[in-house]
Amino acid sequence: MRRAKITIVGAGNVGASCAFWAATKELGDIVLLDIPECADKTAGKALDLAQCGPIDRFDCSITGTSDYQAAKDSDVVVITAGIPRKPGMSRDDLIQTNVKIVKSVTEQIVKVAPNSVLIIVSNPLDAMVYTAWKTSDFPTNRVVGQAGCLDIARYRTFIAMELGCSVEDISALLMGGHGDDMVPLPSYTSVSGIPVTQLIPEARLAEIIQRAKMGGGELVKLMGTSAYYAPAAGSIQMVEAIVKDKKRILPCAGYCDKEYGVGGYFVGVPCILGAGGVEKVIEVDLSDEERKQFDASVEHVKELAGLAESVLK
């Protein structure tokens, strides 16, 4: 059976971490791409990672380059390229610069990997996945944003910290825009089958939800730059679902038209991920309050997409 080919565009903290997770899971051969000015550093990171193979017992080809031809016929392309968020910056502040970067990257990828599935990680996520879709002209099932996998990991982590239990026993769902706009759903959150509302008082759960929403900003303040380990882990969770055709239900920025009445935008929703990319968007029942929050989040997503559209023009 042919080994999958995974290209990661952007060899910074997020991209390099994606390459690490993908290699250790032996998901396929890996191409790590960055701009020509970073060609030597990118090649060095790839070589360094390859030399972990004998120790961690993984066996795959890892290439670090600035040549897009190396990405030819990739099955999945993870786009992490763009400037990171700095203290005091919102994700919205990044739009002007990162739309241009993601547009350029997408144009190059379309030429060499026209049948790939694009996973967008660059911020502001909701605007960048829209940019990649508009630029690529790919069918909507082959363009998806990594947002919910990260946001839900933060949400689950904080619940586990609160309860002193394993994160493995926590099942949760959230929807809407990435980060500050996300809508965690306590009604779909449980701990080993026990509704979280029976374990954590409402007021305290609201505080945990708020911390999850602001999780990216908390890390920017602590580290001086955007998070990278968890965003990368969330991205590779999606890559694995696609290259292994696992049909996993994961919270992703998927294209919704009639679904939830969104009207043609990429927003965080439960998606079935498999070899075809986003194979189905799952619609769940929302309470009146959850629906209100989701609709408000979608409106901001639409605003971000509109800003991206204005830059693309």
Taking a C-beta distance cutoff of 8 angstroms, is the pair 174, 125 a contact? no
Distance CA 185, CA 172 (A): 7
Taking a C-beta distance cutoff of 8 angstroms, is the pair 49, 20 a contact? yes
Phi then psi for 74, rounded to 5 degrees? -65, 145
Distance CA 286, CA 134 (A): 30
Taking a C-beta distance cutoff of 8 angstroms, is the pair 82, 61 a contact? no
Q: Is 141 helix (H, G, I), strand (E, B) or coil?
A: helix
The one-letter code for the residue type at 190 is S
Structure token pair of residue 127: 């605007």
Residue with tokens 């190396």: 70
Phi then psi for 215, rounded to 5 degrees? -60, -40
Residue 55 CB-density burial (10 A; 0-12 exposed, 13-18 middle, 19+ buried): exposed
Distance CA 127, CA 306 (A): 8
Eight-class DSSP state of 293: H
Distance CA 204, CA 187 (A): 15
Residues known to be catalytic: 178
Eight-class DSSP state of 70: G
Distance CA 249, CA 284 (A): 13
Largest CA distance in the chain: 55
